[in-house]
Structure 1
Amino acid sequence: MLNDRLRSARIFRGYTLQKTADTLNISLRALQKYESGDVDPSYDLLVQIADLFDVPTDFLLGRDDYLRSLGVSVDVPPEGPPRHPRPQKRR
């Protein structure tokens, strides 16, 4: 879920992968791994991501019920545009 929320917030706020990686001072490959769900960011980086995209960390973590209980709404859709399927490897 974190990976989809991260991607959705990035696209909704108009950031490219490279601009996001540069702003967060991480490698493009690291960001791609976060967005694919292969790796989760550290707590400190999660906070930086939330600050960059002006969303609560709870949104990124999928804690929608908790946010609603506080009366917090987020303008970023939970899911971004469809992903392009990965090409199949030839055998």
Structure 2
Amino acid sequence: MTFAEHLLQLRKQRGLKQTELAKIIGIGWRAYQTYERGEREPTLSTLIALADFYGLSLDELVCRER
């Protein structure tokens, strides 16, 4: 699973719209949309906000396996 696919899956599991999640983590919804589409990668601060919101480690969030 790609990072973009994982973001989409996590958001849908919570029943949130892109605009709602973007507001919660403090970014614009258009920026968030580009992450779910795989067009851009988020900054470290955005990754941390997403990981904190979902209760995941950064490794888990970005689908990194050891």
| TM-score (structure 1 length as normaliser) | 0.65
The aligned counterpart of 1:21 is 22
Structure of greater Rg: 1
The number of residue pairs the alignment matches comes to 65
| TM-score (structure 2 length as normaliser) | 0.86
> Any conservation in 2 of the 1:13–1:53 contact (CA below 8 Å)?
no
The aligned counterpart of 1:31 is 32
- Asked if 1:4 is matched to 2:5, the reply is yes
Q: Which has the higher contact order (CA 8 A, sep 6+)?
A: 1
Instruction: Give the share of equivalent positions with the same residue, in percent.
Output: 29
Task: Give the drift of 1:45.
Answer: 0.7
Instruction: Tell me how large the CA RMSD over aligned residues is.
Output: 1.2
Deviations 1:19-51 (A, max 9, x none): 101111111110100100000001111010011
4+ residue segments displaced more than 3 Å: none
- Structure richer in helix, relative to its length: 2
Match of 1:56, as an amino acid?
A: S
Q: What are the residue-to-residue correspondences of 1:21-60 with 2, within 5 Å?
A: 21-60=22-61
| Alpha-carbon distance between aligned partners in 2 of 1:56 and 1:12, rounded to the nearest angstrom | 18
Structure 2: 5+ residue runs without aligned partners? none
Deviations 1:46-76 (A, max 9, x none): 0100111122211222123x3xxxxxxxxxx
